[in-house]
């Protein structure tokens, strides 16, 4: 083998290796992008599912509290699943405003849980008839539930309009 044939062989080997690297990098980027888009879709679907579940629970709470003889709900809203989905996929949110709106609603769910817990503790330590002497916590809870219900409904409508 001559020197020129060796140099040509080395040049072609280098070019084919370089082409293989370029193609491999492009393929990996494409696969990464496709995988990330799938993760974003799953994250959004899980987040929307968690908010819909909480919206159903809020509707139940409002129904209970608007009865002629109000009933304090004995279940909590599922703020933890919203928190888990939000923060486990934090880097997948491209829109900071949407993340902040979701996180604010998660905070509202936590706050509603605290109000429900406080009312349950009050009921456990006082006779039921005293509850009618202090309607302010019920009114506050009902108003907060309605505002959160409206805001989550708007958040879901905005999400569906974007999709």
Given a cut of 80, is residue 131 above it in pLDDT? no
Q: pLDDT confidence of 135, banded at 50, 70, 90?
A: low
Top-confidence residue, 160 or 163: 160
Integer Cα distance of 114 and 99 in angstroms? 23
Where are the domains positioned within the chain? 36-162
Q: Which residue has the higher pLDDT, 66 or 109?
A: 109
Burial class of residue 30 (count of CB atoms within 10 Å of its CB; 0-12, 13-18, 19+): exposed
Q: What is the pLDDT of residue 133?
A: 45
- Say which CATH topology domain 36-162 has: 1.20.120
Q: Give per-residue pLDDT as tens, 34-60.
A: 998 998 888 888 999 999 999 999 999
Give me the long-range contacts of 95-103 (CB less than 8 A, separation at least 24).
Answer: 98/159, 101/155, 102/47, 102/51, 102/155
Cβ within 8 Å of residue 156, ≥6 positions away: 48, 51, 52, 55
């Amino acid at each position: 083998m001559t020197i020129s044939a060796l140099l040509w062989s080395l040049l072609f080997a280098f070019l084919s290796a370089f082409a293989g690297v370029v193609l491999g990098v492009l393929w990996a980027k494409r696969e990464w992008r496709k995988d990330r888009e799938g993760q974003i879709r799953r994250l959004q679907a899980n987040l929307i599912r968690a908010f819909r579940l909480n919206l159903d629970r809020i509707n139940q709470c409002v129904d209970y509290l608007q009865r002629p003889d109000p009933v304090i709900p004995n279940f909590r809203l599922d703020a933890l699943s919203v928190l888990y989905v939000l923060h486990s996929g934090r880097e997948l949110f491209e829109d900071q405003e949407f993340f902040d709106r979701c996180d604010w609603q998660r905070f509202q769910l936590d706050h509603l849980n605290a109000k429900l817990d406080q009312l349950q503790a009050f009921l456990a330590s006082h006779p039921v008839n005293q509850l009618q002497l202090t309607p302010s916590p019920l009114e506050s809870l009902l108003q907060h539930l309605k505002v959160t219900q409206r805001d989550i409904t708007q958040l879901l409508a905005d999400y569906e309009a974007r999709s």
